[in-house]
Copies of this chain bind each other. A is one copy, B any other.
Amino acid sequence: MDAKKFLLNEKDIPQAWYNVIADMKTKPAPLIHPGTKQPLKAEDLYPIFSKAASEQEVNYTDRWIWIPEEVREMYRIWRPTPLVRAKGLERLLDTPAHIYFKNESVSPVGSHKLNSAIAQAYYCKQEGITNITTETGAGQWGAALSLAAKHFGLELAVYMVKISYEQKPYRRSIMQTYGAEVIASPSMSTKAGRKIITENPNHVGSLGTAISEAVELAMSTPNCKYVLGSVLNHVSLHQTVIGLEAEKQMEMAGEYPDLVIACFGGGSNFSGVAFPFLRHKLSGEKADTEFIAAEPSSCPKLTRGVFQYDFGDEAGYTPLIPMYTLGHNFRPANIHAGGLRYHGAGAIISQLKRDKLIDAVDIPQLESFKAATMFARSEGIIPAPESSHAIAATIREALKCKVEGKSKTILFNLSGHGLIDMTAYDRYFANDLANYEVSDEEIRANTAALEQIMK
């Protein structure tokens, strides 16, 4: 613990989000309407999302999108966040690598999710919407949106993945303290939920299932919109404040990352930290920077999934997304990193992966907790189980540097703290956690039918 921090002033909070699509030579394939099989226009998304979010979703041209002043004002509650040189971890690993992390855990809800929650709640409020609904995995997104909804005076219903609802009761309480309604998913409150429960009474839930329920509620409730915490382009857009700040801070540190690493569920924190640095790779200026998405080995869509059009949710309510996927019916194991239990990757990330502009690794659960404990003891911050995947990938790379005897500059995103996930740590210390590897057969079986979707 050395606490070498690089701090910005409030005036350094970015004034615009960075839209990476504008700079991509190969654009992501369009979202497709599941009925007509035609590319979606912004208007097609209006029934589900706010208009502003719908337009951002299909904006392939504007490189910079202004952040509304009311949103920047809210960002000031905790932004800019610190960039920290992880000297304690470097010493523990005895590595020549320079390790930096962007500390997004300092937000009042403990994670980066507030960056997009505030923006989306703001747009809904502006458009006269009174009710919003969403899904949440571990509860990080739900907690963030609960705070944002309360601030803008919106009513919020959150479908929380059942296994997390049970494993992480504190996050449920946090949402309720902010005034949100929280429903364990799958639930009997929607057609999608009822169908799943009927077919499989012991279903522990997944992000895909919870999305189905939330979308159904939004579509069947007057003046209610759906708000998503990851996967989609506009969510990635809002998260770029992370990387834009980090860019300035790395400059203060006098370094530029050779490697940018983040954990990967739907892609929101990975996009947020990576895209602003990626723009210098796309421009050719920093062609050698590597980007690594760290996903759980129990839910390995980027490393072992197929690239296909697939639904974003279990019931098939969402548009079809061109994505690396394990199939929308994939049922992820009950790992504690609930925010990473999602079957697919967003359209931008999937295209970048196809074009070899970014890379991915998969991390077994036990390795993630080992890394988390090393980080807690050397840097003083107990990381979220999700973020611990990024730490594990960072440690792998730092140890490679040690073996090869060369130094690299590594930047990873600490997307959240784990103070509300201590049950998971308890189980780790009690040797009560498993790795949950996925077999090739399971992936093949889940993805075999996807080719038919577009036909």
Contacts of A108 in B (CB 8 A): 380-382, 417
Given A5-B10, A77-B1, decide whether A177 and B422 contact each other with a Cβ distance below 8 A: yes
Closest chain-B Cβ to A78's Cβ sits at a distance in Å of 8
Residues of A1-24 whose CB lies within 8 A of B: 1-5, 7, 9-10
Stretch from A168-176, A215-223, A263-271 forming part of the interface with B: A168-176
The answer to the question of A420 belonging to the interface, with a C-beta cut-off of 8 Å to chain B, is yes
The closest CB in chain B to the CB of A114 belongs to B380
- Given the complex of chains A and B, what is the CA–CA distance between A220 and B73 in angstroms? 56
* Contact assessment for B422 and A150 in the assembled complex, using a CB-CB cutoff below 8 Å: no
Q: How many copies does the complex hold?
A: 2
The closest CB in chain B to the CB of A80 belongs to B7
The answer to the question of A436 belonging to the interface, with a C-beta cut-off of 8 Å to chain B, is no
* Contact assessment for A73 and B422 in the assembled complex, using a CB-CB cutoff below 8 Å: no
Contacts of A415 in B (CB 8 A): none
Q: Which of A4, A9, A422 has the most CB of B within 10 A?
A: A422
- Given the complex of chains A and B, what is the CA–CA distance between A78 and B379 in angstroms? 12
Given A3-B78, A108-B381, A177-B429, 17 extra CB contacts under 8 A? A1-B74, A3-B73, A3-B77, A5-B76, A5-B77, A106-B106, A147-B380, A169-B422, A169-B426, A170-B419, A170-B420, A170-B422, A173-B422, A176-B425, A177-B373, A179-B377, A419-B420
**15 examples of A-B residue contacts, CB within 8 angstroms:** A1-B151, A4-B76, A5-B76, A5-B77, A7-B10, A106-B106, A110-B419, A147-B380, A170-B422, A173-B426, A174-B382, A176-B426, A177-B382, A177-B425, A419-B419
The interface of chain A, by Cβ under 8 A from chain B, is 1-5, 7, 9-10, 73-78, 88, 106, 108-110, 147, 150-151, 169-170, 173-174, 176-179, 373, 376-377, 380-382, 417, 419-420, 422-423, 425-426, 429
Query: Which 8 pairs across A and B sit closest by C-beta, in order of nearness?
Result: A173-B422, A3-B77, A170-B422, A3-B76, A108-B381, A108-B380, A173-B426, A1-B151
